[in-house]
Structure formats: structure tokens, C-alpha cells
Structure 1
Amino acid sequence: MTDPRIADPRSRQRQARTTALACLGIVVGMTALAFAFVPLYDLFCKATGFDGTPLRGAAASGPVSQDKMVVHFDTNVAPGLPWRFVAESPQVEAQLGATQTVFFRVTNTGTTPSTGIATFNLQPALTGSYFVKVQCFCFNEQTLKPGETMDFPVVFYVEPGIKADSNTRDLTEMTLSYTYFASKNGQPQAALATPTGTRAN
């Protein structure tokens, strides 16, 4: 015997609408999660140092270790931004637990004012949870006039706990890498472009 609910066209229409609304709800939910994932992932990385993201914190107040770590500085400028970008020194030997300051110099080599914003990464990625930035110019828009030069400090320290972690205790060096991108409304443009190196000598 045929189920009258299946034979009724109105019932089939209601079922079709219910199915369509459920599918639409899933699509909307997945889209919302996709947009939320990026800022949530960014917050997670900043809070934990995951994926080579340096931590943000106050100046070091704990004991200073006799151990040291060589910190290399890699500076890059993405295509489309006519800037020269270098660190005052290509590397420093940082005593663990001691606060250090390194200056970075940017110069607009173009003929018009331009605005840039720097992103960063730390390698090996495992060192991110032990590298603490106290002050940094990253993610702050900077506008330079033609020929203008500005110096920006990075204040940081490497936590002594890096030597107590079995995953990082044998490491003797790390690289803090910055890339300047052209910026619009506080966001880096052409973020997928391959940066051209302007590594300090």
C-alpha cells in the first residue's frame, strides 16, 4: 500500500523545501567557519607561538641564562613596493632571558609616497613559543615620502626554557624573517606574491 505522504505532492514539496533549507544552512555555516578560521588561527598562533609565530609580552623579568642563541634577521620587500629594508646587523648573539633591541631601516626609493606593512615568521617554527617580542613595528602601517628613511626597533628576548624543551634544546640559532608588503586599509596587498630578498649584508 502506497504511503499517502509520499503520494501527496504538497508533502513532497515540503520535504524538498526542508532539504533545501538544511543544505543552505550547512553552506552558510561552513562559509562562516571559513571566515572565522583565519582570525581564530591567528589568535591561537600569537598565544602559543605555533607555526613560528613569536609571542608578545612584557620585558623579561626572570633570570638570565649563560646560554646563548644566534638570532638571524632576514628582510624582504614584496614586488610592487619600492622600499629598501635592512636590519642594522644580520644577526645577534642573544643571551637567553636578556632583553635585546635591534633596529631595522626602511627607505622609500620611489618617486611617490607609499605605504607598507610588515609581516613576520620565525624559523625553526618550534622556537616561536620561546621568542618573545616586547616591541615590534610589524602589522603597523608606515607611510614614507619619496627618499624618506625611518628606523624601527624590535625589542625581544629568548626564554631560557628553550633549553629545557627536548624539541629545541639542541638548537643554537633561529631566523626572524620580515617581509614588507604594499598596504591598503591596514592589510598587506599581493600577500601571495613571492618576495624579493633585500637581506642585510
Structure 2
Amino acid sequence: MSQQTHPTTNKGNARLGLTLAGVAVGMVGLAFASVPLYEVFCQVTGYGGTPKVVAQNESDAMDAAAAGREITIRFDGSVNRDLPWRFHPLQTAVTVPLGQDTLVAYQARNTSDEPIVGTATFNVTPLKAAQYFSKIECFCFTEQRLEPGESVDMPVTFYVDPAILEDEHARDVSTITLSYTFFEKKKGDGAS
């Protein structure tokens, strides 16, 4: 007996093949998009200790509960062991009113005999406070190039949103720590 191929079976197989190819292409696309999407998610929600990044102070006018409330912000700075820089905050802590824009600075010094480009990662602890910690300006938004022996002060402008008082899980926070770690940006690391 001869075996016959049915046209409907061939169409079904072709449709299934195209569907599976589409799923594979979609998965590859999601793999490439996952890191930028995750970074945006973290910046919007404060997930993983990532502070929010804003263009200006977005906190509402302070209500009676927030008026007079202060919070202590501690600062920490470190460098990856492969980066020949010294990096530290110029102040170890400040106590500020909720909702008030605050300017602080860190200092970096290139201790090598060649120019080096560095990039900083950052986080906020406790993690539950990160979504209320908003950075307006920060040296960490761009790469930093330091010439041999060069020392620079690097500003950070931030505020803590008074909405922290409305969060039953975060309203007890009295101290927040902002930490940075600098890494050397190697040639070929990402686009810039």
C-alpha cells in the first residue's frame, strides 16, 4: 500500500513549525531585553535596594505626619580590588527632613599612572526603604574618567519621599544607608 500525505497534515505541521520558530525568536529577544527591563523595574519599584531615579523632587507637599520628621542617611563607598582608585564619602552621615532635597558628595582619586574610566553601582539598605529613596542627580548615572593622580568630588542629590510614613513595613525606618562600589570600565564593556 502506498502512503498518502494529506494536505491538511502538511499545513498543520507548517503552522506548528512557524509557531515554534516564533516562540524561539521571542525567547531570544526576551533574553536580550531582560537585563534592561529588570533595571527599569528595580528603579521604578526600589526592588533589590535600587533607589528610584527621578528628574526632580516628586514628593507631595508634606502632611502633618511628615512635618518635622527626620531620617538619617549614612554613606558608604568602596572600589573593586582591580580598580586603583580611592573612593569615599565626604560625610559619613546626614540627618535630613523627609521630602527635602539634599546634596552630598563622594571623593574619588586615581592612584595609578594612567587614565581610568570607572562606573559605579549602588544600592540602598534596608531594602524596604529603597522605593522611597529618590536620586535626582548622581555621578553614578554616567561613567567617570580620572586622569593619573586626579582627585574629584562627585555630587549626589536625593530626597526621601514622605510616603515612607504611609508604608506599614517601612515607616519604622530611621536610618538608610546609600552604598556605592566603583568598577573599572574595560574597553569593550557596553556602549558609551
State the TM-score, normalizing by the size of structure 1: 0.79
Seen in structure 2, the aligned counterparts of structure 1 residues 187 and 179 have a Cα distance that, compared at 3 Å, is farther
Q: Does 1:145 align with 2:147?
A: yes
In structure 2, stretches of 5+ residues that fail to align are: none
TM-superposed deviation, 1:54 = 1.2
Paired residue total: 184
Give the AA of the match of 1:49: G
TM-superposed deviation, 1:17 = 6.7
Give the AA of the match of 1:163: L
Tell me, in whole angstroms, the C-alpha distance in 2 between the residues paired with 1:187 and 1:160: 38
Q: Does 1:39 align with 2:41?
A: no
Q: What is the identity percentage for the equivalent residue pairs of Structure 1 and Structure 2?
A: 40
Tell me, in whole angstroms, the C-alpha distance in 2 between the residues paired with 1:26 and 1:88: 52
Give the AA of the match of 2:130: G
Seen in structure 2, the aligned counterparts of structure 1 residues 186 and 77 have a Cα distance that, compared at 3 Å, is farther
Seen in structure 2, the aligned counterparts of structure 1 residues 20 and 91 have a Cα distance that, compared at 3 Å, is same
Question: How well do the aligned residues superpose, as a CA RMSD in angstroms?
Answer: 2.8
SS at match of 1:106: strand
State the TM-score, normalizing by the size of structure 2: 0.82
Q: Equivalent residue for 1:62?
A: 61
Seen in structure 2, the aligned counterparts of structure 1 residues 61 and 149 have a Cα distance that, compared at 3 Å, is farther
In structure 1, stretches of 5+ residues that fail to align are: 189-201
Give the AA of the match of 2:183: F
Q: Equivalent residue for 2:129?
A: 127
Seen in structure 2, the aligned counterparts of structure 1 residues 108 and 32 have a Cα distance that, compared at 3 Å, is same
Spell out, residue by residue over 1:38-62, the C-alpha distance to the aligned partner (whole angstroms, 9 max, x if none). Answer: 1112122222323222122314673
